[in-house]
Amino acid sequence: MTQTLTLRRPDDWHLHLRDGAMLQAVLPETARHFARAIIMPNLVPPVVTRADATAYRGRIMAALPADMRFEPLMTLYLTEDTDPADLAAAAESGLVKAVKLYPAGATTNSASGVKDFDKVRPVLEKMAEIGLPLCVHGEVTDADIDIFDREAVFIDRVLDPIRRANPALKVVMEHITTKDGVEYARAGGDTLGATITTHHLIINRNHMLVGGIKPHYYCLPVAKREVHRLALRDAATSGDATFFLGTDSAPHIDPLKENACGCAGCFSATNTLSCLAEVFEQDGALDKLEAFTSLNGPAFYGLPENEDTIILTKGDPVTYPAKIDTDDGPVTVFDPGFALHWQVQA
């Protein structure tokens, strides 16, 4: 018997669209199901000024198929040279919805990120004043810190001091991966939110490493132990308004994933809603799916919920393409490792 589930159209609060040929190929994979997305600014060169964000938004809209509707929510890349006045003007215009903090060297194209956090204090103070959220890639990059501990250390050394110094600053802990992150976010009050990715709800580090290295499960922050994955599942399916979907869908062509120093990122835009419906059903929480995908994010960002809806239907297993073709090469779609029975009704 076919089952149906109606949701307000979802948003993606953490998305990589890249640029050029990659942008042309992957944008429709998100726009097909999502109304809006927070667009990551870690291009080469990064999106650091209002002018940069205006130009990038123009390229996104030019790449959008004529029969699709989609609103890119632009962000600026925080550097030690960010101009608070330019940032404020970008926010006041409605163009920019958040600022992204990358600790220098934390992930793809993060070399321009922050090394000395004292140098960005004026920017953070201005953001707190005007209500512009700070999205943080929550990992330290110290060579002496184990990669599986980087998130927990970041909370103690960087995030908590920033929030204590700027209690009015709205902060999004992006792509949390640990029980520590869940617990800190839950206790953070109205000014703290947290996104959780599709793939971190499904894979732990064994999926990446057991039986041979699986490069298409390699991401940053790296997947952690099973106890952490279960904490993320509990948070996402709880209905708690603190947590909302940010896929961190991050496309790389296969030759850059499948080599001796493979790029980090899972591309999940194509099948995320099917994966999530399966996860929430497994946990007996289909009634909480809409909050996670469609309600909690807009509430945190102070934006209206989408007025239109989507319908998911459950039936025989649905097949998705294994790869998305781009003019630069193929991009492998995230494989959850189990059958998907839910799909968005065309």
Distances in Å between the alpha carbon of 337 and those of 202, 269, 341? 9, 16, 13
Q: What span, in angstroms and rounded, lies between the C-alpha atoms of 264 and 266?
A: 7
Helix (H, G, I), strand (E, B) or coil at 136: strand
Contact 193, 243 (CB under 8 A): yes
Which residues form the catalytic set?
Answer: 248
**CA neighbor of 202 nearest in space, from 332, 334, 90:** 334
Contact 273, 33 (CB under 8 A): yes
**Amino acid residing at 296:** N
Question: Phi then psi for 322, rounded to 5 degrees?
Answer: -70, -25
- Helical residues (DSSP H) of the chain, grouped into ranges: 20-31, 50-63, 84-92, 121-130, 150-154, 160-165, 179-186, 198-202, 205-209, 226-236, 254-257, 272-282, 289-290, 296-301
**CA neighbor of 246 nearest in space, from 180, 184, 306, 296:** 296
Count Cβ atoms within 10 A of the Cβ of residue 86 and give its class: 0-12 exposed, 13-18 middle, 19 or more buried: middle
Q: Catalogue the long-range contacts made by 162-168 (C-beta closer than 8 Å, 24 or more residues apart).
A: 162/117, 162/124, 162/134, 163/188, 163/191, 163/192, 165/121, 165/124, 166/124, 166/125, 166/127, 166/128, 167/128, 167/191, 168/128, 168/129
Q: How far is CA 301 from the centre of its chain?
A: 14
